[in-house]
Structure formats: C-alpha cells, structure tokens
Structure 1
Amino acid sequence: MKNNEYKKLPSFITTDSVLQVYHIFFDYSLRTLESETLLGILEELTESMYEKSLALYNGVTDQELKDILIKNMAFFAVGLQTLEKPMPTDIPEQAKKLAAEEYQLVRGEQGFAQSAIFPYELDYSQYKPRGHYTRSEDLQRFFKTMMWYGQAPFPLYKQTEDAAGNDKAAGVRNVEQTLQALLITYSLFIENEGISDVTRWENIYDPTVFYVGNTDDLNIYH
C-alpha cells in the first residue's frame, strides 16, 4: 500500500478487512467486559443465591420444598465450583453430594451423561472453553459458570415416550423443575444486604443481550 502511494496507484481495500477489524474490536470489548465487570457480578450473584437458598431451606418445614431446595443449593454450589470457589462449609450433606457429582461431570467435559441434579441428560462437552474464553483463567471461569446457568433447563413438561419408544408431542407436567424455577425466581427478588439479586442478574443479562441478542429460553420475567 505504501508503494502504491509513491507510485500514485489506487489501493483496493476489500470489505473483508473492515469486517475483520469489527470482529477484533467486538471480541476485545466483549472479553474485557466479561473479565473485568461481569465476572465479579456473577460471583456475587452465585454466592448470594446459594445463601438465600440455604436460608429458605432452613426456614421451611414442608418436606417436598426442602427436597427441592436441596437441589437448588446443589445447583448454586456447582456454580461456585465452576467459579473455582470452595464448596460451602454449611451445605447440607445431601446437597453437597449432588453438587460434587455434578461438578465432576462438568469437569470431565465428556459429552452426554445423566445429570446428578436434573432428571435428564446434559451434554457436558459444552463446558470445554473455546474461542476467546481460552485466553485466561478468569474467562474460563466465566464461560463455565454461564454455560452451567444457561444450559441446565427447567422445562415445564417432561418428555415422555410411547410404547414404540418414540417421543410424544405432549409431555407430562414437570412439577419439580417448575417449583425449582419458581423458588429461584422468588429468591432473586429477595434483598440481601440491601441489594436485590435481580439487579445483579439484569447487570449481567442486559449487556449480554446488547452483544449477542435475547435468549431463546424463558427467563425470570416470563
């Protein structure tokens, strides 16, 4: 290009170069946002949601709700471990066992396997960091935790099979996972030290939507 300038020849610049610069800027700004801002909020959110799930567990007497809250505590304890935080010392033994088993599956990154917490299989190969998430340990922690919260679904219906083993179009109402989701949503709106976790959730979700678009799944407002 410099020789062209001296020789007074035009330089042909393709749109590819413009798109490449845009991609570099997009990727840099996204990973900076994730590692320097969103990761810290995610750590606060995970710790707070575990604590509130434990408080609810200690405060209810209904055994069905206590069993569901065991799974919710395990759910957030897995999030703490993907953030490379220690297993909470006050976690009930049953929840600790579920969280430890689930985290081993996440660490294994070995494809489809039966979840220890949820009544279905998850694709654990999805937890292998890729793209810019391989650049640092902080980005890997962020990736795995966001993948955990985003991949594990709380479906309204269980998929059932007919006599031939084919999936039926209409499933059975999934009461347990629905109650799990309701209790998590309820906990999000409870203030902890003067801060509502729904604010933390929005501070993660809104910038993510700006970069990559809305989620296809139901969220806490649905």
Structure 2
Amino acid sequence: EALSLLKNSGFVVIPTPLDIAEREVFLMSSRQNAYPKDDFVAYYKAIGEKDLPIFITTDSLLHYYHIFFDTTLMKLERDLFYKDVWAVSKNLLEESLKEYHETGGDLKEAAKRNIAYLSVALELLKPKINQIMSDETLREEYCSPEMDPEVCKMFIEGVKQSYGNKASFKYFSETEFNQYSFEVPDLAKDLVQKEIELIEEHKGWEYSPLFIYQEDYSQYVPRGHYTKSEKLKNYFKALIWYGRMTALIEGSPLLSPGESICTGDVGGIVSEY
C-alpha cells in the first residue's frame, strides 16, 4: 500500500521505525528517547541520522519558528533575565530599606510594604535546598533505571568534569545557591510568609495579605517551558507576582471611602477614594 501511494502521489508517510522510536539516548538536557513525540528537533534529527527521506509540511515551518522563539526565550530567561530580575529586585529592596529607616509616618509604612512586595519576589526567585544539583539529581537526569550503577557513576563523573557547575540543566548549582541567597527582613516576614503560602498552595481566589484585593493564586503554577528547570520555575512565579500584582487606586471593599492603608488599620498596598 505504501509503495502504491508513493507511486501515485510522489510521497508516502509511514509510522516511525521502532528502532528509532524506542532507542534511548543521553543528552545534556535530560535522558530521553531519541525520537520523543513531543520533541520537534529530535524528531527530524533522528530520521536524518538514519539517512531516511524526510517529509516536510508547510505547517512544520511555522511550528519550527514557534519552537525557535520558545527555546530562545527560555535560554534568555534562564541565563540572563533571571539574574537581571534578581539584581533589580535587590537594588530596589535596599532603597526601600533605606527609606524605611530614614523616614517616618505614612512614608515609613509605605516603605515597609514596598519591602514586603520586593521580598516576596526575591523569596520566590531564590534557590531552595531541594533545588540544588547533587549526584542523585544527576542520576535522575542522565541514567536510566536499567543502567549499570558503575557505568552511571562513570558517566556522571564525566559530565561533572566536562561541565562543572553547569552539569545539570534542571537544578541550581551550589554556586548559584550561595549567589542567590536571601533572608526576608524581620519587619516584613509575616506579610511575606502569608503571601508565599498562598502562592505555593495555588488554590484560587483569595484576598492578598499585602494588596488587600483578591488574587487568583492558581496562576502561579509553572507551565510550558517553565517546568523544565527549577530556575525557570522560580523565575515564572516571581514574574507572575510582578506582572499580576498592581498598586490599585481603588480595589478593596476592606477599605472605607477616603481611607488608605497608611491611615487605616488594614494592611496592604491599596487606597480607595
């Protein structure tokens, strides 16, 4: 039937050869099948290496553009934007701490809440203990369950010698863990802890302890390429925080007309007039 279609149409599409579909390879990004269904690049590369004819459809070019953009963005976020967001957040936090200690009254209270706002982002960005690269996480990335333990050990040692702190795509290195360390200032710990708990639980709509108005905390679940590494997961949560939480002039039924957070008893960055 395939030969008949080839003769009549000039091309034929056949199922993936099993020796390609089921063969496992070891890549820097992870241990994976040589021909995974969800990996567009590996899909064509595996066939090309077999010297098999490749059927290219017009929509594949559009899909390739989408993947190229997505991969480029992912690398920029992981290698550049993460540290930029960290640096900007730390600088703004230092300015807010300075304002807090040098002012009084409403300005002091406003500075305190700026400190809490920035501290939430930094707390989301920073590496956690369970996000650090180790021999165990490297085995998870590079060794199949069936691999001989000694072969796995030798393979991991080779990866560590070749790539050092960059041996893992998925996890933070110990150097990064120390570089991006952060402690929430005591004056904002309570507010920050409440926000972090809501973000990590990501159940849905809840009143923000800091901003007073309701926020959809289910939006803080990493998705897309942001699930591919711990750094990208943290980056995603911090950027969602910065992108969604805004200092609304009006937006909370918890405040009376003419009352602001600096003059009322309710804590949060919202005023209603």
TM over 0.5: yes
Q: Quick one: which amino acid aligns to residue 231 of structure 2?
A: D
**Residue aligning to 2:66:** 23
- Unmatched segments (≥5 aa) in structure 2: 12-54, 127-179, 263-268
2:199 and 2:220 in contact (8 A); partners too: yes
- Distance, in Å, in 2 between the alignment partners of 1:27 and 1:130 is 13
Consecutive aligned runs of 4 or more in structure 1 exceeding 6 Å deviation: 6-9
1:144 to 231, 237, 245: 237
Residue 43 (str. 1) matches residue 86 (str. 2): yes
- Distance, in Å, in 2 between the alignment partners of 1:159 and 1:109 is 21
**Residue aligning to 2:102:** 59
1:156 and 1:173 in contact (8 A); partners too: no
- Distance, in Å, in 2 between the alignment partners of 1:96 and 1:49 is 17
Percent identity over the alignment is 35
Alignment of 1:81-100 (within 5 A): 81-84=123-126, 88=183, 91-93=185-187, 95-100=188-193
Report how far residue 10 of structure 1 moved: 4.8
Q: TM-score, normalised by structure 2?
A: 0.53
- Distance, in Å, in 2 between the alignment partners of 1:15 and 1:173 is 60
1:158 and 1:174 in contact (8 A); partners too: no
Q: TM-score, normalised by structure 1?
A: 0.65
**Residue aligning to 2:158:** none
1:78 and 1:99 in contact (8 A); partners too: yes
- Distance, in Å, in 2 between the alignment partners of 1:157 and 1:105 is 23
Report how far residue 174 of structure 1 moved: 8.5
Q: Note the alpha carbon deviations across 1:7-49, whole angstroms, 9 max, x for none.
A: 7975574321111111111111010010011001111111111
Flag the 1:34–1:88 CA change in 2: closer, same or farther, 3 A.
same
- Distance, in Å, in 1 between the alignment partners of 2:199 and 2:116 is 13
Report how far residue 158 of structure 1 moved: 3.0
Report how far residue 101 of structure 1 moved: 0.8
1:80 to 114, 118, 122: 122
Residue 104 (str. 1) matches residue 197 (str. 2): yes
**Residue aligning to 1:122:** 215
Q: How many residues align?
A: 165
Q: Quick one: which amino acid aligns to residue 67 of structure 2?
A: I
SS in structure 1 of the partner of residue 206 of structure 2:
strand
Higher relative contact order (CA 8 A, sep 6+): 1
